[in-house]
Chain A
Amino acid sequence: MISANLSALFYLISGILFILALRGLSSPETSRQGNYFGMVGMTIAIIVTFLSVGNFSAGLIYVAVLLLIGGSIGAFIAFRIPMTAMPELVAGFHSLVGLAAVFVAISAFLKPEVFNLGTVGNIKLASLIEMSLGASIGAITFSGSIIAFLKLKGIMSGSPITFKGQHYINLLLGLSLIVLIFYLCKTQSDSIFWRIIEISFLLGLLLIIPIGGADMPVVISMLNSYSGWAAAGIGFTLENTALIITGALVGSSGAILSYIMCKGMNRSFFNVILGGFGATDESSSKLSKEEKPVKNGNADDAAFLMKNASSVIIVPGYGMAVAQAQHALREMVDALKKNGVKVSYAIHPVAGRMPGHMNVLLAEANVPYDEVFELDEINNDFANCDVAYVIGANDVTNPAAKSDPQSPIYGMPILDVEKSKSVLFVKRSLSPGYAGIDNDLFYRDNTLMLFADAKKMTEDIIKSL
């Protein structure tokens, strides 16, 4: 058994190690070391907790066994999961953090004396507020992440589910949570505590169902942030520095990621959260669409164009992830490089279904990270590039974002694909992208449409190279 002061210092050390873990991610070289810092920090926190409880009785065995069970499940998932499934994995993990926060809060509410919070029916006011906030945010994180998981996995339709008065219902639920927390503090009643958790679960569901598939990068980041705030809430209840520091880190990390994602779409956070984007947009451009001619190409044309180019920029999008085309793409690039073509990759901040999604897939396919560039690093290069190979991306290349103030994506930063000498679009059909708007680029003279599955087309191009 170690003293409370000593364990508090150890918790501080874990907190610092967690900060270093995030700091390591500033470059791929230091990132692996950072991850080890994180693991050491976690190990310290767990060991110190065991020592501070100091009650090495029968309970210890149970805890160790449960740790082992949970740990093996986690390790199994971590090794087996394909990289393309990373967004749903992260959403799933968020839901577990949320639920764990709820369980710890329940446990603290039922047995406050264990955590030095007072006695049943007579819990300290501050602790009550902290634990009910922790439980509530945790529950919202849990049910919201479950919906995000189902949408990303494709079990639930990715299109927004909206109904009349939706936002008022959410507002009402939110307000009733505040009222209930107020009454919980007054009465300390069990039933109110359970109501708070139930309503939070419901609110989590309702908050996420109106948000469509391509807005998932924002949703995942937001839930990431929530899971941090929930942890911080519990940290205050348990008076635990490691939890408070971590909660604050994760909370601000998720918030910054949501901000970056919103900025990548030029939409306000509230616009994304209120949802329904791209669902009701029956735009007038439908009539004119059929008449416009497109140039339709095949793999041989594409191979010919790229082989004779001096530089090619690849623009991957969610379609590449769906088709699992990243390995084929790398092989194609290798073949091009053999022909002396300079190739780089351009990644839009909101390409894919979560922040950094494309980078991970390219890294999986052994693409060196110094060939992969962010929007502002590479956007000027399109003017000097011979061929832009757009694979599974659409809205992020749409010039309407710059030229058409009527367009729903007006103002969104886009990759200036149109400036390159020729554009190859690998796409399954002419259908508009997620935003439900037509892409003018399809009909330009220097655009060649390659209608096929991204992976198959890329493989065919390799053959003709």
Chain B
Amino acid sequence: MEIDPFIFRLSIFILSIFIGYYVVWSVTPSLHTPLMSVTNAISSVIIVGAIIASLSGVSENIFDFSNIFGFLAIILAAVNIFGGFLVTQRMLQMYKKKKKK
């Protein structure tokens, strides 16, 4: 009997939770704020769904109800992607070591 592809995705999901668990515990507490802003940026990879939603079925009518939701989602996710990565970058630039004399 063939295995449902859903099971494969579920496996990826559960393994990723474990990876996340171990990786996040190794994050130093002083970088917890950048951790939040960068997780925020990467969770905006949801933009792929938004792009598919808004690029498909364009031949008929681009301002279809469902396309419009796709467009809105693209704007929101793009704000997050750029905002999230750049603000993380800005924060990380500030973490400096003591200058050795």
Partner of A114, one of B56, B71, B83: B56
Q: Does A66 contact B (CB under 8 A)?
A: yes
B13 in contact with A363 (CB, 8 Å): no
Interface hit among A227-235, A270-278, A387-395, A405-413: A227-235
Q: Write the nearest CB–CB distance from A253 to chain B, whole angstroms.
A: 4
Say yes or no: A257 contacts B36, CB within 8 Å.
Answer: yes
Of the listed stretches A56-64, A178-186, A294-302, A429-437, chain B binds A56-64
A122 at the A/B interface (Cβ < 8 Å)?
no
Cα(A99)–Cα(B90), bound, Å: 25
Q: In the complex where A103-B50, A369-B95 touch, is A42 in contact with B42 (Cβ < 8 A)?
A: yes
* A291 interface contact, C-beta 8 A: no
Across the interface, B43 reaches (CB within 8 A) one of A46, A220, A247, A256, namely A247
Given the known inter-chain contacts A238-B49, A249-B16, A369-B96, please indicate yes or no for A96 contacting B36, CB distance below 8 A.
Answer: no
Q: Name the one of B20, B44, B58, B98 contacting A252, with C-beta atoms under 8 angstroms.
A: B20
Chain A 220-243 near chain B by CB (<8 Å), digits 1 or 0: 110010011001101111111111
**Is A32 among interface residues, defined by CB-CB distance under 8 A?**
yes
Does A35 lie within 8 Å of B76, measured CB to CB? no
Assess A74 versus B82: contact at CB under 8 Å? Given A49-B51, A59-B54. yes
Determine if A169 is an interface residue (Cβ-Cβ < 8 Å): no
Rounded to whole angstroms, the CA-CA distance of A374 and B31 in the bound complex is: 12
Q: How far is the CA of A93 from the CA of B77 in the complex (A)?
A: 9
Q: Of all chain A residues, which has the CB nearest B49?
A: A104
Please, how many angstroms separate the alpha-carbon atoms of A252 and B26 in the complex?
A: 13
Type the 1/0 row for A26-61, where 1 means its CB is closer than 8 Å to any CB of B. 111001101100110110011001100101011110
Total CB contacts across the A-B interface at under 8 A: 378
A75 with B66: CB separation less than 8 A: no
Chain B residues with CB under 8 A of A49: 47-48, 51-52
A252 to B22, CA, bound (A): 9
Q: Does A69 contact B (CB under 8 A)?
A: yes
Q: A71 at interface (Cβ–Cβ under 8 A)?
A: yes
Contacts of B79 in A (CB 8 A): 70-71, 73-74, 77, 93, 96
Which positions 96-117 of chain A face chain B at CB distance < 8 Å?
A: 96-97, 99-101, 103-104, 106-108, 110-111, 114-115
A residues less than 8 Å from B48 (CB atoms): 11, 45-46, 49, 238, 240, 242-243
- 28 A-B pairs, CB-CB below 8 angstroms? A18-B42, A34-B38, A39-B85, A53-B56, A59-B55, A71-B78, A73-B82, A77-B79, A89-B87, A97-B43, A100-B47, A103-B72, A114-B53, A224-B36, A231-B46, A234-B46, A238-B52, A248-B13, A248-B16, A249-B24, A347-B30, A349-B29, A354-B32, A356-B36, A359-B30, A360-B94, A363-B91, A370-B97
- Apart from A28-B30, A57-B58, A354-B33, what are 9 other A-B pairs with CB-CB below 8 Å? A26-B27, A55-B59, A69-B75, A111-B57, A232-B13, A243-B49, A253-B20, A357-B33, A370-B97
